[in-house]
Amino acid sequence: MATKFRDLVIFASELQSSRIGMTKKEMIKRCQELGLLGSKASIRTIDRWIDQLKYEFDLKISSHVYEADKLQKRFKIAAFPSMLYALTELERTGLEILKESLTDDIHKQAISKVLASQQPLSNRVLGDLTELIDNTSYASQISPRQKVNNKYMKMVEEAIKGYTKIRFKYRSQNSSKTTLQEVSPIGLIFSRFGYLVAFYFSKKPIIYRLDLLENVESTDIPSDRDEEFNFRKWSEQSFGIFHGDNVFKAEIKFSKKVAHSVKNITFHASQTIRENKDKSLTLIIICKGMRELIYELLNPLYYGEFKIIKPVELQREYQKYLTGSLSAIE
């Protein structure tokens, strides 16, 4: 019963948030995308839900026809009770984490307004969410992104908040074999893929791709993660999700042709930009891990428009990637 009510609320929120309303065919498609009704989505079911929203919940649903829709009716909810807008704990966490990852003030402000409209959380729940938000990082805004199993994500997030271990089978990227692992989760990083950062018989954190986790299980076993470990500081040191052993300082000079674009991009939290007399820019970054920095420099936008000043190791690694790439056209 609770599931049906939840599905109905989600369906209603879709009808309300659609700018021009939705046709019944669009409603069926959206229900399928959201996993509502399973395989039972049909015109008859949509009609029943619309009637239920009208007569049981007393919602005002308007309908209108656009000529471009070949006379199909579009339906929209004019007003939606504020109590039904209440975010779940998981949804609220997702918005908080997204807000922390954004550099655009307008989008941050919009999310802040949505969160401000919600009922205050209890101190206990607020503490749990703060723990999770502090231990989640967005390495970069890269698309497309890999889909992650929501059920597994909830278990991982609960383990981070509750300081407990989780158990799973892990399939490495280039192998069909899986290994059983029991780890102490400490944080999440999102880039093109989602990554779990955890301790597993090591003083150094290990990174697992979330989409390669299988048969995830929660446990009541207390986490043995290092209490002194600062996830936020650790994640900010790297460029992207890849960590090297040593911190290095990179200096990259961009030509005046791409200087304006580079000036408006946040490559890394540590970055400083120096404007040169010839209108070029020098980007200075202090971080760990060269791999994703090299990936960024392979962007066609910068092709032929930059020079790696230092370190020599970064110059060599970049040259190695370029040489390896030539094999793709042989």
Closest CA to 186 of 206, 160, 157: 160
Task: Return the pLDDT at 144.
Answer: 40
Residue with tokens 């278990």: 155
Bridge partners of 187? 197
Classify strands 248-254 and 272-275 as parallel, antiparallel or unpaired. unpaired
Bridge partners of 308? 252
Largest CA distance in the chain: 71
Q: What confidence tier does 321 reach under pLDDT thresholds 50, 70, 90?
A: confident
pTM score of the predicted model: 0.44
Q: What confidence tier does 125 reach under pLDDT thresholds 50, 70, 90?
A: very low
Residue with tokens 């990082």: 137
> Angle, nearest 10°, between helix axes 105-116 and 89-101?
160
DSSP-assigned letters across all residues of 312-330? HHHHHHHHHHHHHHGGGG-
Residue 303 backbone class (left: φ over 0; alpha: ψ -120 to 50; beta: rest): beta
Q: Is the pLDDT of residue 311 over 50?
A: yes
Q: For the segment 174-205, what is each residue's pLDDT rounded down to a tens digit?
A: 667 888 999 998 888 776 567 888 888 777 78
User: Other C-beta atoms within 10 Å of 269: how many?
Assistant: 13
Q: Is the pLDDT of residue 98 over 80?
A: no
Mean pLDDT of 77-84: 62
What is the rounded average pLDDT for all residues in the chain? 75
> 73: which residues sit within 8 A by CB, 6+ positions away?
23, 24, 63, 64, 65
Mean pLDDT of 96-103: 62
Tokens of 65: 């026809």
User: Other C-beta atoms within 10 Å of 79: how many?
Assistant: 8
Of 224 and 328, the one with more pLDDT: 224
Tokens of 86: 């209440």
